[in-house]
Amino acid sequence: MSSSAPLSIVEVQRRVGAELDRLAPLIDSLGALFTDAGHELHLVGGPVRDAMLGRSHHDLDFTTSARPEVTERLLKGWGDALWDMGRDFGTIGARKGEWVVEVTTYRSESYDPSSRNPTVQYGDSLAGDLGRRDFTVNAMAVALPGREFEDPYGGIVDLAHQVLRTPGRPEDSFGDDPLRMLRAARFAAQLGFTVAPEVVAAMTAMADRITIISAERVRDELVKLICAPHPRLGLTLLVDTGLAALVLPELPALQLERDEHHRHKDVYEHTLTVLEQAIELEPRLGRADGEPDFVSRFAALMHDVGKPRTRRLVGDGTVTFHHHDVVGAKLTAKRMKALRFSNDDIEAVSKLVELHLRFHGYGSGEWTDSAVRRYVRDAGDQLERLHVLTRADCTTRNQRKADRLRRTYDDLEARIARLSQEEELASLRPDLDGNQIMAVLGIGPGREVGEAYAFLLDLRLDRGPLDEDQARAALLEWWASR
């Protein structure tokens, strides 16, 4: 858990001051625009919180007493571009130069307990607006243009102690919007904060309310949690409160009861470590600096979910998990479908889960070139992520064994590089195309052309590239032997 020493309040205030100075060209004029028109305007939520943590935002959230029509009129003369974020939510967005602002009318939501989404009602006070926000660290505001700091729920103290607490009773807050329970886990993972004990207790008691939330909203929070810097914090909180059993049951299911001999490692703990190791290896994926890769992370989290179902105790007390890769890929696809992930994401993650064990047949380099080609071909555009997953999936404490596995994988990657260079493996085609096949065999389009194509592709994988005469001869031989 987060164990860092409390931040000093003086330092936190200094950081906000510095950030407001940086924002001055923007917030001074915007604040004057609203107050001159007789309205209040506050910088609020994420940007205030993150300023205190020493991070700056380029997307700035504001809250105002002005109704959306008024906000729109005021921003029209000020920004370079304007958009309506959904009139129902009372948010107007604007861009001015490099700045993006979103201005939302004070809210006091009322909730229909049977509905999945809050119904919005406008409110009349800043305190009311802040009181309906999820956590005290998100419920701080700075009045503009005067820069008075507004913190009715003690967010600054909670931020200094790095703890998430609700402005009111957590039971009331989660009763109003159960998604906030997942947001607690998400912010724990993003900020590295702990969650106050009374908040954890309410999450545990009320976990089953999460089932009224739409799959899309659950998915979006899970993605943010998994892409955060400390996903272990958020995931263990979800598991310990019973929320994971409802939104991602495959994860707590990994806490297999250990057999009396402790012959296998705790798969749940192993999984969290694999996820962290996959995050460390993320730079290999060549994305922009520090950019998280959801597919790679989620594949690490799901790679062993087939284990509980395939677990067998064999005669001598050994535990086996035959085909947990295939079963795990199916379970993964099913869960991702239920959470309404895109087909591309589902395909990518389940492919990685399905292939995560393949390397273990490599031994100490015994694969033929043909086996290496198949590995590359089967991984397709997931090959780089498969390298990351397979390397991350080694959590042995035996340093020599770990070193040996790493060197063996280095060897495999070197062979792939060599073969790819020689053969352009990724875009592998048979040595003859469909037209050539029809010409050689003297047949027209049909099922047989497809069969011949498959035969030639197989041959290509087994033997590497053939010249046209060799391919022609092999094709004719196959045709004759049918």
* φ and ψ at residue 293, rounded to 5 degrees: -115, 100
Asked whether the beta carbons of 334 and 302 are under 8 A apart, the reply is no
Asked whether the beta carbons of 202 and 237 are under 8 A apart, the reply is no
Q: Rule CB under 6 A: say whether 292 interacts with ligand ATP.
A: no
C-beta of 101 vs 267, nearer to Mg ion: 101
Task: Report the C-alpha gap between 371 and 390 in whole angstroms.
Answer: 17
From the list ligand ATP, Mg ion, none, pick the one residue 177 interacts with, judged by a Cβ distance below 5 to 8 Å according to partner type.
ligand ATP
CB of 84: closest distance to Mg ion in angstroms? 17
C-beta of 158 vs 177, nearer to ligand ATP: 177
Q: Rule CB under 6 A: say whether 179 interacts with ligand ATP.
A: yes
C-beta of 61 vs 250, nearer to ligand ATP: 61
Identify the residue among 2, 46, 149, 384 touching Mg ion (CB under 5 A): 46
Residue type, 88: D
Q: Tokens 């993650």 belong to which residue?
A: 349
Q: Rule CB under 6 A: say whether 185 interacts with ligand ATP.
A: no
Stretch that binds ligand ATP, among 79-87, 131-139, 309-317, 374-382 (CB under 6 A): 131-139
Residue facing Mg ion at closest CB distance: 46
CB of 238: closest distance to ligand ATP in angstroms? 17
Identify the residue among 64, 105, 138, 382 touching ligand ATP (CB under 6 A): 138
From the list ligand ATP, Mg ion, none, pick the one residue 324 interacts with, judged by a Cβ distance below 5 to 8 Å according to partner type.
none
Q: How many residues bind Mg ion (CB under 5 A)?
A: 1
From the list Mg ion, ligand ATP, none, pick the one residue 158 interacts with, judged by a Cβ distance below 5 to 8 Å according to partner type.
none
Task: Report the C-alpha gap between 415 and 426 in whole angstroms.
Answer: 14
Provide the token pair at 9. Answer: 């309040």
Identify the residue among 27, 31, 90, 134 touching ligand ATP (CB under 6 A): 134
Q: Rule CB under 6 A: say whether 93 interacts with ligand ATP.
A: no
409: left (phi > 0), else alpha (psi -120 to 50), else beta?
alpha
Q: Rule CB under 5 A: say whether 242 interacts with Mg ion.
A: no
Task: Report the C-alpha gap between 49 and 52 in whole angstroms.
Answer: 5
Stretch that binds ligand ATP, among 75-83, 175-183, 376-384, 466-474 (CB under 6 A): 175-183
Of 152, 143, 179, whose CA–CA distance to 31 is shortest?
143
CB of 291: closest distance to ligand ATP in angstroms? 15
Task: Report the C-alpha gap between 232 and 229 in whole angstroms.
Answer: 9
CB of 210: closest distance to ligand ATP in angstroms? 12
Residue type, 445: P
Q: Which helix (H) or strand (E) holds 86?
A: none
Burial class (CB in 10 A: 0-12, 13-18, 19+), 445: exposed
CB of 45: closest distance to ligand ATP in angstroms? 3
Q: How many residues bind ligand ATP (CB under 6 A)?
A: 9
Q: Tokens 């999460």 belong to which residue?
A: 210
C-beta of 45 vs 328, nearer to ligand ATP: 45
From the list Mg ion, ligand ATP, none, pick the one residue 236 interacts with, judged by a Cβ distance below 5 to 8 Å according to partner type.
none
From the list Mg ion, ligand ATP, none, pick the one residue 192 interacts with, judged by a Cβ distance below 5 to 8 Å according to partner type.
none
Strands 41-44 and 59-64: antiparallel
Provide the token pair at 70. Answer: 């008024």
Site for ligand ATP in 23-52 (CB under 6 A): 45-46
DSSP-derived secondary structure letter, 85? S
310: CB partners within 8 A, 6+ apart: 320, 321, 322, 323, 324, 327
From the list Mg ion, ligand ATP, none, pick the one residue 134 interacts with, judged by a Cβ distance below 5 to 8 Å according to partner type.
ligand ATP
Which CA distances in Å does 55 have to 5, 51, 191? 18, 5, 11
Q: Rule CB under 6 A: say whether 63 interacts with ligand ATP.
A: no
Burial class (CB in 10 A: 0-12, 13-18, 19+), 33: middle
Stretch that binds ligand ATP, among 67-75, 174-182, 205-213, 369-377 (CB under 6 A): 174-182
Of 62, 46, 127, whose CA–CA distance to 96 is shortest?
62
| SS3 category, 112 | coil
Site for ligand ATP in 356-415 (CB under 6 A): none
From the list Mg ion, ligand ATP, none, pick the one residue 327 interacts with, judged by a Cβ distance below 5 to 8 Å according to partner type.
none
CB of 180: closest distance to Mg ion in angstroms? 15
Question: Which residues make up the interface to ligand ATP (CB under 6 A)?
Answer: 45-46, 61, 133-134, 138, 177, 179-180
Question: Which residues make up the interface to Mg ion (CB under 5 A)?
Answer: 46
